[in-house]
Amino acid sequence: MHVVEEDVLIIGAGLSGISAACHLRKALPTRSFTILERRTNIGGTWDLFRYPGVRSDSDMFSFGFKFKPWRNAHFFSQGADIRQYVHEAALENRVFDHILFQRKVGSANWNSHTQRWEVKAVNEATGVAEEYHAKFLMCCAGYYNYDQGHRPTFAGEEQFKGQIVHPQHWPEDLDYTGKRVVVIGSGATAVTLIPSMAPKVEHITMLQRSPGYIFSLPSVDAVTRVLQKTMPAKLAYKLNRARTIGLAHFMFKISKSKPAVVRRFLMAMVRRQLKGSGVDMRHFTPNYMPWDQRLCLVPDGDFFQALRSGKASVATDTIDRFVPEGIALKSGEVLKADLVVTATGLNVQMVGGMHMSLDGQAVNLSEKMFYKSVMLQDVPNAIVVLGYTHASWTLKSDLASGFACRLLAHMDKHGHATVVARAGAVPQVEGLTVLGGLNSNYLKRVADQLPRQGAEHPWHNKQDYYHDSKVLLEDPIDEPGLVFEPALGRDDNYKRRAKGGSTRTEKGMVIS
């Protein structure tokens, strides 16, 4: 059995995992750490998704890392540019030396006797089982299943003569030139696919069950260009970042305090985009208020440009069944198609799908709350990184990594070996999960599996960057709710047991 002994074990080398590693390198350079990554490259979502036009639906000044300027003037950048940015961050901070690729993590058990996490994984390149022991665990595996996107089964699929593709598993050689395409779904993926595919297809239709809010923003604005041209890169990035975070925060807050006003504003923006196109506004009039579900942002109105061109259209209906020539709708209409893209969403999955336990007893995540939205109740020496649902993911992952470094430094200073968050008498809020109050279908499907929120701070997740910045980066670490304990005196013996009679094969790797 292979065994690795580290101070910190990071699960996942996507945005969150690379952020965590960079924070550790900068703040705690003497701490050893290893990153376990299932895939063969870093980047997470941005390495996985390769469908046409894949891009960020958050502005890059808040989506980028706080410690690394985004030098491109474009707010919404393509997946390839984001992959390159993450790669540069890892290179600049010498993170690649700490990554072990093709490691599928199956379980993580906290051993209270050794005060270690015992993580079991498989090297998928060799099939060899491995075990990793760590004082501290950082789960940066995102919040959805990379292996399988959400894919409903539709009646009559076997009769369809064309091809069905899910964006999460886009074929590299897929040629859609001159084809009739139907995209099922109306989220961020769908509104990206439509303008990206429209120039090559015969026609492309977005088929939605109900409308959502689609908001157009310029991909580059004058203020950004002026700041980047007249100021040092770090200062320009800092100012652009502060500006975009502030605007997004304001938009979310006013959407919640004055939803009718924001709704009228968004509807007016859509009407202006569709003027003269003949497209019916019923396709863009949601039956919910702004930010009850995520807004879909499109750069430079490219989605609406595709509609105005006549190469794209929208159908609002429900699917009755697939037929040989396409999709039959409940209304009786048949959408003819050679290619159907099921942009039907993702499958939410916590902690990378690994089995988490405490001294062999399984942890039921749906029974746990989140301390300051970064630590699972009753689970020692662990940070679980989850980004925002209404703002960029990286804003929160950077804060979580900053807090983790502060917490580890505090434990070093005071001689603590373990820390655990205890809720005491704080009650859970019925029906409110750690991912917030959105009523999106992908969250509804797994609401009974997600960690909960508590009724009061620090167990209530406000989804507020300014609040979280203070709570995670400024407030004292040793606050009520956290319980610290010293080492049990087994540390030296434990290390000797783990390494006895061993030979080293990879960085940090030993075979017992």
Q: What integer pLDDT is reported at residue 221 of this predicted model? A: 82
In the structure, what pLDDT confidence band is assigned to residue 437 with cuts at 50, 70 and 90?
low
> Residue range 438-455: average pLDDT?
77
Query: 290: exposed, middle or buried (C-beta count within 10 Å: 0-12, 13-18, 19+)?
Result: buried
pLDDT at 505 over 60: no
Determine the CATH number of domain 157-342: 3.50.50.60
Is residue 498 very low, low, confident or very high in pLDDT (cuts 50, 70, 90)?
very low
- Given a cut of 90, is residue 12 above it in pLDDT? yes
Over range 461-486, report the average pLDDT. Answer: 94
68 or 390, higher pLDDT = 68
Of 141-150, 430-439, 468-477, give the range with the top mean pLDDT.
Answer: 468-477
Quick check: do 2-146+348-511 and 157-342 share a fold? Answer: yes
Taking a C-beta distance cutoff of 8 angstroms, is the pair 181, 358 a contact?
Answer: no
pLDDT tens-digit profile of 408-428?
999 999 999 999 999 988 988
- What are the structural domain ranges in the chain? 2-146+348-511, 157-342
Which secondary structure element, helix H or strand E, spans residue 297, and what is its range? strand 296-299
CATH homologous superfamily of 2-146+348-511 equals FAD/NAD(P)-binding domain (3.50.50.60)
Cα 189 to Cα 481: distance, rounded to the nearest angstrom: 40
| Strand-strand pairing, 428-433 and 2-11 | unpaired
Place of tokens 């900068």: 26
Query: HSE of 161 in the Cβ direction (CA atoms, 13 Å)?
Result: 8
Cα–Cα dist 140/16, whole Å: 5
Tell me if 52 sits within 8 A of 302, measured CB to CB.
no
Better-scored residue on pLDDT, 337 or 438: 337
Q: How far apart are CA 190 and CA 85, in angstroms?
A: 24
The full 3-state SS of 54-112, as one line of letters, equals CECCCCHHHHCCCCCCCCCCCCCCEHHHHHHHHHHHHHHCCCHHHEEECEEEEEEEEEC
Amino acid (1-letter code) at residue 464: D
**Digit-coded pLDDT (tens) for 203-259:** 999 999 999 999 999 988 888 989 999 999 999 999 999 999 999 999 999 999 999
Using pLDDT thresholds of 50, 70 and 90, give the confidence band for residue 440: low
Contact 166, 189 (CB under 8 A): no
- Position 197 pLDDT exceeds 80: yes
Name residue, tokens 């939803």: 259
> pLDDT tens, 99-108?
999 999 999 9
Using a pLDDT cut of 90, give the percent of the chain over it: 79
CA–centroid distance for 114 within its chain: 32
Buried-state track 309-326, b at ≥16 Cβ within 10 A, e below 16: eebbbbebbebbebbebb
C-alpha distances in Å from residue 290, one per residue of 166, 268, 286, 464, 505: 27, 14, 9, 17, 54
Q: Number of helices and strands (H, E) in the chain?
A: 13, 27
- Write out the two tokens for 376: 């699972």
Tell me what percent of the residues of the chain surpass a pLDDT of 70: 94
pLDDT at 390 over 90: no
Each residue's pLDDT tens digit, 259-276: 999 999 999 999 999 998
Q: In this model, does residue 439 exceed pLDDT 80?
A: no
Kindly write down the DSSP assignment for every residue of 113-165, as one continuous string.
Answer: TTTEEEEEEEETTTTEEEEEEEEEEEE---SB-SS-------TTGGG--SEEE
Segment (H or E) for 249: helix 233-257
Spatial CB neighbours of 321, under 8 Å, sequence gap ≥ 6:
154, 155, 156, 327, 328
pTM value?
0.91
Pairwise CA distance, residues 385 & 402, whole Å: 11
Q: How confident is the model at residue 190 (pLDDT cuts 50, 70, 90)?
A: very high
Name the band, by pLDDT with cuts 50, 70 and 90, for residue 510: very low
CA separation for the pair 391, 259 (Å, rounded): 18
- Strands 361-362 vs 355-358: parallel, antiparallel or unpaired: antiparallel
Res 326 pLDDT > 60? yes
Q: How far is CA 194 from CA 184, 190, 221, 267, in A?
A: 11, 6, 24, 20
* Total residues belonging to the chain: 512
Q: What are phi and psi of 118, to 5 degrees?
A: -115, 105
Residue with tokens 């991912």, as numbered in its chain: 435
